[in-house]
Chains A and B, each alone.
Chain A
């Protein structure tokens, strides 16, 4: 296996909220300590409920926002808050594809201009003619027709727009592509087309993907490794098959049990979690999952469990044993 291209250690991103006249200041722990590696040709999927910090993680890795704490290392170089401003090449290493293809393309620019813009800004040495040639080649690579070059985004369907967004992200030859829920705004039939395109591009260009998603059936087919997040903290992390087949953290188990299945006759054990997702402004002490966990003990309410283990790591004092069935009082067959 090749060397990891990006290493993240204890990434944190907190937002300070200025309190109004009658409320005190608050800190939103949107991302609270995530460590992982990205390797060329492999995909790390980040899953979790909405509001668990997935998109914040994507933004920090893309260097749109600096981490509050923790380090990000790309190709052995430590990223400082001003590294990007100093070295434009670094910016080109990581690119991002956004969730909403209707908002991520400039409505006043033709597709051609949108594709050429990154080159124009970052590679002034490339001639205008070559720039256009590269953009046209890229258009073909993502499966669009040459006549689309002159068109405006509003003339395209969601799937085509997402292809354009992928093409734009690839214009600078990045090594890492952050995919922030790239298919969740699309139809199912279009989703698979885009996913196939992404797989094909990964093979061809040896890209490292950070795939943010809440759709577990997509993740199952697409990723190599999995990172499960809850309230800004990773709770379980490991190779896809191990996590899917033998989840150790109760939250992972509950999350996996919520995946819809295509077979209506199969009985499935759906774990219904009690209570609401706590606000990231007010994370419960101890294990963040303890108020909703059926195995929580006194220890869980006071001590924060750390992520432990080798390849397959989890942050839980009472991990599930393989084959363990959750207690019937909180589990219901649906």
Chain B
């Protein structure tokens, strides 16, 4: 808070160094959290893999090698460097499948989060600004959605819509969206009573402008954090739905679906089951670490004690 003294200093002082921008400030407090930086690095690596999977992967994800069924990873007896992470029961290269799987996980995460974020934030802002009866109506509907266990509700929705990756994503988005509504509404309600909103009203700002240009940007910090954490929930839920046969359908190299396909080989070929599981674990962990760091950096009220 060195700027507090600015009023007292003589105007003759040459231009001070430009104060750090909001982005720089955010980065400074973000990098204090080592776990968050590690999470960010892993996340970036996965993002890279997801984008360039077809070029990095040695083989196509569904290419079968009939003479190398269930071959163990290279460092184990019987493995070869032709398939560094071994092959699955149908003779497909595990490494290639896992690399392609990263694509699906990110695709799911991004679509689900943006879908639930946009609808959730819009509904939340409307609820925060609407008269009491409409607000109550919206929030009770959200409470009903929240009262079901999320995976169970997603399962029901998929059962209605039919099992496919797209339907699974829609189901997960519907399940995640009430969290955004609640968060946004709470933030909007505390912000809209402040004087700068009244000032904007006095300046003649319309309803829409106040809702989305004045108030919403000031509510973004908790929403960004929630989005980051929802990303991991989405990845996890999609994997779970895939495992239950309600998500992506074989032969899609989706991590959860891969787990389900390989279940029966758990004792005979550990790599077929473990590796997709490890991928899910590492991704979710990295995103959660990153989300915690985001929260610390963006929302001083929630700082770790």
- In whole angstroms, what is the CA distance A99 to B198 when docked? 12
Inter-chain contact A151/B19, CB cutoff 8 Å: yes
- A132 contacts B by Cβ under 8 Å: no
CB under 8 Å from chain A, chain B span 191-217: 194-196, 198-206, 209, 214, 217
Contacts of A118 in B (CB 8 A): 203-204
CB pair A155 B195 closer than 8 Å: no
A168 in the interface (beta carbon within 8 A):
yes
Do residues B6 and A91 form an inter-chain contact, with CB atoms below 8 A?
A: no
B201, closest chain A residue (CB)? A64
Query: With A98-B195, A108-B217, A145-B11 in contact, do A168 and B203 touch (Cβ < 8 Å)?
Result: yes
- Tell me the bound Cα distance from A62 to B201 in angstroms: 11
Count, chain B residues at interface, CB 8 A: 25
Q: Is A106 interfacial (CB 8 A cutoff)? A: yes
Task: Tell whether B160 is near chain A: CB-to-CB under 8 Å.
Answer: no
Report A-chain residues with C-beta under 8 Å of the C-beta of B201.
64
State whether the Cβ of A317 lies closer than 8 Å to any Cβ in chain B: no
For chain A, the count of residues having a C-beta within 8 Å of the partner chain is 34
Task: Decide: A147 and B195 in contact? CB cutoff 8 A.
Answer: no
Kindly state whether residue B76 has any CB partner on chain A within 8 Å.
no
The answer to whether residues A159 and B7 also contact, given A105-B196, A122-B204 and a CB cut-off of 8 A, is yes
B window 13-28: CB within 8 A of A = 15, 19, 22
Contact B7 A157 (CB under 8 A): yes
Q: How many A-B residue pairs have CB under 8 A?
A: 71
Cβ-defined contact, B196 with A91, below 8 A: no
Q: How far is the CA of A121 from the CA of B209 in the complex (A)?
A: 10
**A156 adjacent to B203 (CB under 8 Å):** no
* Nearest B-chain residue to A150, judged by Cβ: B18
Quick one: CB contact mask for A95-124 with B, threshold 8 Å, 1 for yes? 110111001111110000000011001100
Residue A71, interface by CB 8 Å: no
* B195 and A103 form a contact (CB under 8 A): yes
The residue on B at minimum CB distance from A151 is B19
Encode contact with B along A57-82: 1 for CB under 8 Å, 0 otherwise: 00000101000000000000000000
A191 within 8 A of B: no
Contact for B15 among A98, A147, A156, CB less than 8 A: A147
B217 to chain A: closest residue by CB? A108
B7: chain A residues at CB < 8 Å are 157, 159-160, 190
How far, in angstroms, from A151 to B202 measured CA to CA in the complex? 23
B66 CB-CB contact with A under 8 Å: no
Q: Tell yes or no: A244 within 8 A of B by CB.
A: no
A304 CB, nearest partner CB in chain B, Å = 33
Choice from B3, B202, B206, B218 contacting A106 with Cβ under 8 Å: B218
Known A-B contacts A91-B202, A118-B203; the reply to A155 vs B3 at CB < 8 A is yes
Task: Tell whether, in the assembled complex, residue A156 and residue B3 are in contact, meaning their CB atoms are under 8 Å apart.
Answer: yes
Mask: chain B, 130-143; 1 = CB below 8 Å from A; 0 = not: 00000000000000
Residues of chain B within 8 A (CB-CB) of A159 are 7
Assess whether A103 is in contact with B194, with CB atoms less than 8 Å apart. Answer: yes
A36 at the interface (CB under 8 A from B): no
Judged by a CB distance under 8 angstroms, whether A149 is at the interface is no
Q: Looking at the assembled complex, report how far the CB atom of B305 sits from the nearest CB atom of chain A, in whole angstroms.
A: 23
CB distance from B121 to the nearest CB of A (A): 16
CA distance A152 to B22 in the complex (A): 9
A-B contact pairs, 20 of them (CB 8 A): A64-B198, A91-B204, A95-B202, A95-B203, A96-B199, A96-B202, A99-B195, A106-B200, A106-B214, A117-B203, A118-B203, A121-B205, A145-B11, A157-B3, A157-B5, A157-B6, A157-B7, A168-B199, A171-B203, A172-B203
